Amino acid sequence: MAKDTKIIRDLTQGSVPGTLLRFSLPLFLSGLLQMVYNMVDMIVVGRFVGTQGLSAVSIGGEVLQLITFVAMGFSNAGQILISRYVGEDRKDLIGEMVGTLFTLLMSLAVVIMILFLMTYQSIIAWLNTPVEIWEYTRQYSIVCVLGIVFIYGYNLVSAILRGMGDSRHPFQFIAIASVINVVLDILFVGPMGMGPRGAALATVIGQGVSFLFALGLLYRNRAQVYFDFAPRHFRISRHVIRPLLSLGIPMVIQSAAVTFSMLFVNSYVNAYGTVAVAVTGVARKLEGMIGVIAQSISSAGGAMVSQALGAGKTKRVPKIVYHALWMVAIPSSVFAVITYFRPEWLFGLFSEDPEVLAMAVVYIPVAMVQYLGCTLRPANFALINGSGNSFLNLMVALLDGIVCRIGLSLLLGVALGYGIMGFWYGNALSGLVPFLIGGVYLVSGQWKKRASATP
């Protein structure tokens, strides 16, 4: 075991803003790098292949989201529970959770890969993929799906490390993946002329190498995670599977509801043609820049809330929520100003098509609403997820993902006849739901009851 490697870190000590910033910064940098190498896919393909290739990568990215929500849901649940066990000093449960997560998620990865390979044509058709980019979309999607084991594996190892309070090593691993992805992207799509398939292959190879490095670190420091990697310890433990499913299933439903509802809305948007697909895809990437900050703060805040409740330090929780809010608000405001005043420059990074740039200007008001939701959500998700409230997670999933996003989009886009603007606004406005629910939950004080019982 490497002597200079420390995995477990106490997040219940020190000032709240200082701890939150130190823990979230590597998460932010990790997310930023991941966003950058996803954007590189679109930039490189957009430059070498054109608007059709850019649109195909956009839809292919939506398909990839469709198959990763299970990993995100159970990984986040595992991270919260490991943080709780660390706060409670339950070493036995930490090791059992590690083994259970490995077996559950890797098994699900194989099952989902097989199911997708059997049904991908129907999924691409359901998304109203324009016929001229069908083949590009198919190539990109299949390659990404074949690498799903690496995606799931990296998510589960990173969740284990973050649950222990270690956000630095996941950043290092995603940095490795980013460098590999950028280099291979340019090589595969440029000189080798592989198109969107080359961009997908570059992403999968980068993620595979990153996963292997992460797995190696976990093995070298197996004593700290109380898991010796013996085959018999990979069994699903009855002591932790129930809380994992209790918290993880609502998180999976939440991710699934948001993902499916966004795909549902985008299926209407895709019917407006390749220019609309390209603009929406680029907009998602730009909004994702705020999402990177939001996700890092939400993940860090959730781990801190979970450890604080596990250690019985309830007075620390509202401070975490408050500081998480302003830490996202400042960079979000800066990014909103840049987007408002320089939209052609931002969208021009991906495409020089005059039609794309013209439609990008129309999208700006929608982007402002989207940024507002990205600013308000993370602090409330940190509280809801960190407290392990599975019921509230389910309510957010149903309201945000299904009732509001689909309902508002159909109301504005179809019933009121606003067309593509209606679908865009419906998606953006639904992002305010977690803030409303989480705000009521914080004021009610019901989260305090979670301090005395392991979820």
Q: Is the pLDDT of residue 451 over 70?
A: no
Residue closest to 259 by CA, chosen among 35, 389, 430, 78: 430
Q: Are 189 and 49 a contacting pair, CB within 8 Å?
A: yes
**Helix 238-270 and helix 51-88, axial crossing angle in degrees, nearest 10:** 160
Pick the more confident residue, 245 or 261.
245
Q: Is the pLDDT of residue 232 over 60?
A: yes
pLDDT confidence of 58, banded at 50, 70, 90?
confident
Residue closest to 348 by CA, chosen among 35, 51, 37, 49: 51
The rounded distance, in Å, linking the Cα atoms of 351 and 47 is 7
Q: Which stretches within 164-273 are classed as H helix?
A: 168-189, 195-220, 238-270
Which segment of 39-48, 181-190, 370-379 scores lowest on mean pLDDT? 39-48
- Residue 49: exposure state from Cβ atoms within 10 A (0-12, 13-18, ≥19): buried
Query: What confidence score (pLDDT) does residue 6 get?
Result: 62
Residue closest to 124 by CA, chosen among 61, 68, 70, 73: 61
What's the whole-number mean pLDDT along residues 407-428? 87
Dihedral sign for Cα atoms in the order 144, 150, 156, 159: negative
pLDDT confidence of 454, banded at 50, 70, 90?
very low
Q: Is the pLDDT of residue 240 over 70?
A: yes
For the stretch 314-364, pLDDT in tens is 888 889 988 888 888 888 888 788 878 887 787 777 777 888 788 888 888
Q: Where are the domains of the chain?
A: 16-452
What's the whole-number mean pLDDT along residues 410-414? 88
* Side chain identity at residue 265, one-letter code: V
Query: What confidence score (pLDDT) does residue 455 get?
Result: 42
Pick the more confident residue, 364 or 311.
364
The rounded distance, in Å, linking the Cα atoms of 238 and 244 is 10
What's the whole-number mean pLDDT along residues 377-393? 82
For the stretch 108-151, pLDDT in tens is 999 988 988 888 788 888 777 777 888 888 888 888 888 888 88
